[in-house]
Amino acid sequence: MNAVLRRVLATIALLWAFEGGMYAATVLWVAPDGLEDATGTVDRPFATLTRARDAVREMVRAGLKDEVIVRLRGGTYRLTETLVLTPEDGGTREHSITYESADGEQAILKGSRLLYGKWERVEGTLWKLAVPEAAGGKWAFRQLFRDGVSQQRAREPNRGHFTLKSVDAARRTATLNEPLPSAWTPLQGVELNTTAYWHFARQPVAAIDAAKGTITARRGIGTEASSSKFGNKGHERIWLENALVFADQPGEWFLDTTDGLLYFRSGADENPNNAQFSAPVLREFIVVQGSAKKLVRNVHFVGLGFAETEPEYPAEGRLGVQAGAWTFDRSRTYSPGAALRFIYAWGTSVIKCRFTELGDGGVSYEIGTRSGRVAECEFTRVGANVIQVGRMPEYTGDRHPLHRDFSSWGAWTDKLEAFPSSNAIWQHTSQTVPEAPSQIDIADNAIRDCCHLDYGSVGIWVGYANYVRIERNHLRGLPYTGISVGWRWGPGLTNCHSNLIAKNTVEEVMRQVGDGAGIYVVGEQPGTRIVENYVRDSGGNYWAHGIYMDESSDHMEVAGNYVNGVANHSLFMNRNGLNQVFRDNNGESGPTRLEGKPDGRNWADFKPERRPPDFETDKRAK
């Protein structure tokens, strides 16, 4: 142990205080103007989270005697590397580790680098800035922030989208209904963005033929890679990004990665030299990562801000499969990352934090997590799945690319004379399948205008996880589904069961893609309840429901829900099992009246539409 660290630990020993008069705590301070060789006191704070983490690690090794709080003064902290917290950095059953903003202040972690230099006028409202770090493709960022707000990467059309006339047999070349300018034919580095059904794909363009009105992708467009039949329904949406000629509207930008030049189109009376620009260098801020043999315990994040990160984008692009998951060729499936991830971590929480302008997701609970909580947080302009429970970073499924569960417990039920209760399932699976995330609470969060970089993503996603409580959240302005629970489109018990979706408000969703809902569930989920939710104003493309129970949904209860103003059905069931309970919906007591067809599709359209008698927009939006 060096002399500086000994002084730090000696100083820490003098910092014992009572937080709120309830418990003893050791407080370490961090400030934007702190010093790495400081002592971590309020008067001599550390400069970085990494330095504070290292000090906490020494305390953990010595044996925690009380709670530990890493308190960040207000301001911006720019991270260039992901901070990893291991079991060496965690608390115990008795004592917690908390990273929090100081009272009345906002500490914001940013994954971006400031862009310096002088903007030079090219012509009219087009400006350029030299970014030598980007020359030669060394830094090919995909987001640009002006005073903390993301700007539109150069795209065409500027509003709306192109529409599909036809697609060739190989499903690589799309012919558009709209004419294309001849100047586009020689363009290089252009990216193709497409939606079809519930999929969103972003991929490189191989060629543009303006004379024929065609765009050819390097890989298939809407092929079996993403389960989509592009060109079948006429609801496809197509647009292009990443060419200087596209930057014709205020706020649009283009990065020349060959010469390291950034171009920006300003407003008529604007000078970009009067604003602060930044670009992301980081995808994930903090990963709390234990192992099956050694968990991370009792770590918490309170009142922090997370902003300005980069999405994951391989050279092959991202071909959407379902709910943010993507692939190249269906042989392997990937899931979007997140600003804050938990792996083999128990007893954790994310409270009153703010997430904005992120390339991928916000919070992700993954393998081996239990007893977690995400509450009273704000999420705006988060690029992909906002809150995820059960994420698998990459995997190959069983027949269907998404049908890879954690360890199975279904054979246990075959030996029983009667279907087990939720309590019996918990008693069994909590001991036999510790890998599956469990007991995660998602409550009182606001999720607004998110999934703007991956239109196939959702607000709250739960895969193979159980005893997840999703309560009193407000979701608004999403391109696809609001809340999605379940991950198997076929019969068979999985580790998705005993979940609660209650008292949530979901509005203005399903704006860009189709075949989803305000609340979507799939597969057999014994013990799962969908109660007292309010879904309204869902739809903008096609096949948008209020509550949608897809293939093999079974053993669930749907009660006390209200649905207003959706494009299709208030409640829709596609080939469900026989053990569902629908009651007391739309303010009417008793079984919910269903209509149906012999093909296994049933639905209910609430008439007249009602809203919850105690509904308060402002109250639920907090």
**pLDDT tens-digit series, residues 378-395:** 999 999 999 999 999 988
**To the nearest whole number, what is the mean pLDDT of the chain?**
91
pTM passes above 0.85: yes
> How, if at all, do strands 149-150 and 145-146 pair?
antiparallel
What does the pLDDT read at residue 410? 74
User: Percent helix, strand and coil across the chain, each rounded to 5?
Assistant: 10, 40, 50
Residue 9 scores a pLDDT above 70:
no
Distance, C-alpha 546 to centroid of its chain: 21
Q: Which two tokens stand for residue 519?
A: 């609340």
Instruction: With cut-offs at 50, 70 and 90, classify the pLDDT of residue 331.
Output: confident
pLDDT greater at residue 397 or residue 375:
375
Average pLDDT over residues 459-483: 98
CA angle 197, 537, 178 (to 5 degrees): 45
pLDDT greater at residue 315 or residue 146:
146
Q: Which residues have C-beta within 8 Å of that of residue 316, sequence separation ≥ 6?
A: 203, 204, 218, 219, 328
What does the pLDDT read at residue 621? 45
Provide CATH code, domain 311-415+425-621: 2.160.20
Cβ–Cβ < 8 Å for 538, 546: yes
Average pLDDT over residues 228-247: 84
Cβ–Cβ < 8 Å for 296, 84: no
Average pLDDT over residues 451-455: 96
Q: Give percent of the chain with pLDDT exceeding 70.
A: 93
Q: Which residues have C-beta within 8 Å of that of residue 406, sequence separation ≥ 6?
A: 367, 433, 435, 436, 464, 495
**pLDDT tens-digit series, residues 300-309:** 999 999 999 9
Distance CA 171, CA 196 (A): 13
What does the pLDDT read at residue 168? 87
Distance CA 337, CA 359 (A): 9
**pLDDT tens-digit series, residues 158-180:** 999 999 998 888 888 999 999 99
> How, if at all, do strands 112-114 and 164-167 pair?
unpaired
What does the pLDDT read at residue 395? 86
Residue 507 scores a pLDDT above 50:
yes
**Could you count the other beta carbons within 10 Å of the beta carbon of residue 619?**
11
Average pLDDT over residues 227-247: 82
Positive/negative CA dihedral, 380, 323, 428, 573? positive
Pick from 142, 141, 183, 176: nearest CA to 160? 176
Average pLDDT over residues 85-100: 97
Domains of the chain, by residue range, sit at: 3-81, 311-415+425-621
Residue 589 scores a pLDDT above 60:
yes
